[in-house]
Structure 1
Amino acid sequence: MQIDKNQILDLLRSQGDDAKAQQADQELPGTVDTDQHAGLLEKLGLSPMDLVTKLGGGGGGLGGLLGR
């Protein structure tokens, strides 16, 4: 699944983790592939499956940014 980096940054900031958000901003590409970038996401303390659930699950949280 592809997720816009800004969605991930917003999630980290909403969790009060500005340091990780800054690190993510520097290390992640503009569009994050949860499979391809799983290692980077794990390094940031993010589970790719959790991201899919939080950002892509029910209610269309990504509004068309999902890679299909």
Structure 2
Amino acid sequence: MNIDKQQIIDLLKSQGKNDNADQAQSELPDKVDPEQHSDLLSKFGIDPKDLLGKIPGLDGFGN
């Protein structure tokens, strides 16, 4: 399942990680696959396994 890059950036900003958000803006692709891009997400302090529960509208079932 792909997640829109902006949702990840918004999550980082909501956690006060503005420096990570700026870096993610330039390094992440427009659509992020948590499994495929797990190294990048970890670099920004995001655990790909926890991502589904932290982004509104994502319930782990593709909804």
- TM-score, length-normalised on structure 1? 0.79
User: What code does the residue aligned with 2:39 have?
Assistant: G
**Aligned mates of 1:17, 1:31 — CA distance in 2:** 20
Distance apart, 1:49 and its partner CA: 1.1
Tell me: higher relative CO, structure 1 or 2? Use CA pairs within 8 A at least 6 residues apart.
Answer: 1
Which blocks of at least 5 consecutive residues in structure 1 are unaligned?
56-60
* TM-score, normalised via structure 2 length: 0.85
Q: What percentage of aligned pairs have identical amino acids?
A: 51
Q: How far apart are the structure 2 equivalents of 1:67 and 1:6?
A: 17
Q: Between Structure 1 and Structure 2, how many residues are aligned?
A: 61
Gaps of 5+ in 2: none
Stretches of 4+ aligned residues off by more than 6 angstroms: none
User: Are 1:62 and 2:42 matched, yes or no?
Assistant: no
